[in-house]
Structure 1
């Protein structure tokens, strides 16, 4: 169909010259209107001379379930300042093969849906959608102010199966994800501190983390004024694995002659790892009976509660008294795994004491890590880690 007088507001400066329905969608030919000004795409000044005209095929928003293809007659202008340049079109970016309207539509839905789903909605190729989304994410991050963190939180999350991890760094005050990188070694996280630079590193006062030696050493190397703060949750989780689990297995092996009691001890793992306040009411008698019948399990269970109190000390002096008392009880317990854990914990005392001055934890980042897992499940994983990391940073731009 041909109509030389059809002028629509969708494509400013152009009119419909031809309209055709095909198997692969709707094809619309556009030509410049006689009144449309010719503007240089370089200097954005008005031009009067046309060097040549050419056709470009462009995708636009689907209409009534049909893909829309535009064949646009564009002009290359002779600009006094820029030389030969393509004319500026308000609804089309330079060199673009899709309209700004379609790009905005794709970007909007990429905030809520996986790339594969947006492909079905828009009819665009996966790589095209990902490119649009990447440009949107990079633009969003570029608009953020320069980060000036004072306190940091560092943690890791599983990137792929097979013990492959990534590290996340969070501004503890603004909740902005500053950096995400693959790996958890010193070499992997050193990139963050190099990006932060010596001046901003010197401003860091405290960093919350688990007992990851790589994190600790890099903070000491790059942030001379920072105190490392060890997270209670990770220490208690380590205590559960290395002490409570070990004692439970040892006691189960010792009770080979008492099969009913051995079965109770073997099945009590989650009961022993829980805080007493979180134990269901119907399980409380079972826990009390188990602890009363086994002295070793009673000891390590009580020592776990005492260990948590180190993070509740009101002053450094209170902490020192509680720390010395805990170490002495661990030494006098004659439980090998507990003594071994206490000996290992001695070298981390500064990071535990720092909690008195800096009441920080990695709980903020644990919540973000859970959101990251949801993002991975929604997208059925990401082939491109850098693109995934952009998604994470854009999802947590921080509080104003």
Structure 2
């Protein structure tokens, strides 16, 4: 068998003495104990304390990194100590974290794999269950993220958005720092109460430093900004503004298609029997053409192919109202292509005036909404700040959830989000 010094180097443990090594049932069982200076310490704070009792079993086991295809188990005597600060707790072990059944290296490798691989691959490779992977990720995140409030320093431009993580309207709210592109805060739920809890963690000086806040058009964002940092400028993301116009345009397309289909059904007569003559002109199914035009109406004019441009020309002759809605959507998009804030203000005011008198109910309502967010839209153009980083982080969060096949524990999910998106450096033990 290997000598004890070689075993310690392979295990990569400190302040540990090797007592005995046994090989049973394809498993290396290594009996160890902590050196004298690291015995009888509080498992939470590490303070030297008096022994309380031997605990429930008197000995504990920990899983270490595998040796080739064989499992490695550490066995050591355990006791409970009485800490003046934390009361009666299990003593500290120099090779593992408190309340963990795995060594430091095992958890570090598992966390690194969880950040870079799917949860199924991690559990298969490390030979542990899915739930265990999530618990390890939570412990490693707590250990590496020693000063989470440090991320709140030097906040000048932030972005906020909510994203769903589960069916049944289950949301999480994330806040990012635009200057670093990293997540600085994440919490379960959405709305004013959730976003307010983020501002409650900031000091008065940190709130006063915030200059710009980007997000969608949610009212709770405006209410929180007005309450906690009234000097900050609000920016509404261009993507969401155009999506409002796209929703209004698509609603008009659906209404037009349904009305045409209804008229055709009322006026339809039984078809005559027999084959039609060869020279009979081919009729165009207007309802079908309108129904299948969603993709074309969503594209910008300069990106239309020749066939798509012909269809837009056909829509302009067949349904002028739908074509007018398409032009309104395009005009709103061109507002964000302005070179200066003054030019954007002129274009936006002209668009609001046009939409107000367009006699299209969907766009009349839309111009009221845009008029309410007029200042925030102009701030977006003036400061060139969008919510693109937040949307990218949301996609990364959804990818993390899919790779894990969902999370049952919300705390483990938030820990995974912070490990992947907040800039925490997760390294392998040999790095």
Which of 422, 426, 429 is residue 397 of structure 1 equivalent to? 422
Task: Specify whether residues 129 and 336 from structure 1 end up closer, same or farther in structure 2 by C-alpha distance, changes over 3 A only.
Answer: closer
Task: Specify whether residues 206 and 22 from structure 1 end up closer, same or farther in structure 2 by C-alpha distance, changes over 3 A only.
Answer: same
What is the CA distance between 1:86 and its match in structure 2? Answer: 10
Q: What is the match of residue 266 of structure 1?
A: 291
1:306 aligns with 2:331: yes
Task: Specify whether residues 100 and 321 from structure 1 end up closer, same or farther in structure 2 by C-alpha distance, changes over 3 A only.
Answer: closer
Which of 181, 200, 219 is residue 187 of structure 2 equivalent to? 181
SS in 2 for 1:39: helix
Which of 227, 231, 247 is residue 252 of structure 2 equivalent to? 247
Contact 2:144 2:424 in 1 (8 A): no
Q: What is the match of residue 115 of structure 2?
A: 111
Deviates more, 1:86-95 or 1:14-23: 86-95
Task: Specify whether residues 323 and 28 from structure 1 end up closer, same or farther in structure 2 by C-alpha distance, changes over 3 A only.
Answer: closer
Give the TM-score, by structure 1 length. Answer: 0.83
Deviation per residue, 1:149-187 (Å, 9 max, x gap): 101111121121123222211111111111112222111
Deviation per residue, 1:215-246 (Å, 9 max, x gap): 1211121111111111111111111112x123
SS in 2 for 1:375: helix
Q: What is the match of residue 28 of structure 1?
A: 30
* More RCO (CA 8 Å, sep 6+): 2
Task: Specify whether residues 238 and 399 from structure 1 end up closer, same or farther in structure 2 by C-alpha distance, changes over 3 A only.
Answer: farther
What is the CA distance between 1:247 and its match in structure 2? Answer: 2.2
| 1:92-241 equivalences in 2 (<5 Å) | 92=96, 97-142=101-146, 145-147=150-152, 148-241=154-247
Contact 2:173 2:190 in 1 (8 A): yes
Q: What is the match of residue 10 of structure 1?
A: 7
Task: Specify whether residues 307 and 75 from structure 1 end up closer, same or farther in structure 2 by C-alpha distance, changes over 3 A only.
Answer: closer
Contact 2:312 2:323 in 1 (8 A): no
Q: Which runs of 5+ in 2 are unaligned?
A: 9-13, 43-47, 82-88, 265-282, 426-431
Deviation per residue, 1:67-108 (Å, 9 max, x gap): 22233468999xxxxxxx999875455675433332333233
Distance 1:151 1:375 in 2: 26
Distance 2:80 2:233 in 1: 61
Task: Specify whether residues 125 and 286 from structure 1 end up closer, same or farther in structure 2 by C-alpha distance, changes over 3 A only.
Answer: closer
Aligned residues: 382
Q: What is the match of residue 39 of structure 1?
A: 37
Distance 2:90 2:219 in 1: 57
Deviation per residue, 1:194-226 (Å, 9 max, x gap): 122332111111111111111121112111111
Distance 2:323 2:170 in 1: 37
Deviation per residue, 1:236-272 (Å, 9 max, x gap): 1111112x12322333344334971222112212211
SS in 2 for 1:322: helix
Distance 1:163 1:224 in 2: 30
1:382 aligns with 2:407: yes
Contact 1:300 1:338 in 2 (8 A): yes
1:372 aligns with 2:374: no
Q: What is the match of residue 365 of structure 2?
A: 340
Which of 384, 388, 401 is residue 359 of structure 1 equivalent to? 384
Which of 333, 349, 357 is residue 324 of structure 1 equivalent to? 349
SS in 2 for 1:395: helix
Distance 2:229 2:158 in 1: 11
Deviates more, 1:6-15 or 1:360-369: 6-15
Give the TM-score, by structure 2 length. Answer: 0.77
Contact 1:251 1:265 in 2 (8 A): yes
Q: Which runs of 5+ in 1 are unaligned?
A: 78-84
Contact 1:175 1:399 in 2 (8 A): no
SS in 2 for 1:224: coil
Contact 1:39 1:88 in 2 (8 A): no
Task: Specify whether residues 154 and 289 from structure 1 end up closer, same or farther in structure 2 by C-alpha distance, changes over 3 A only.
Answer: same
Distance 2:369 2:60 in 1: 68
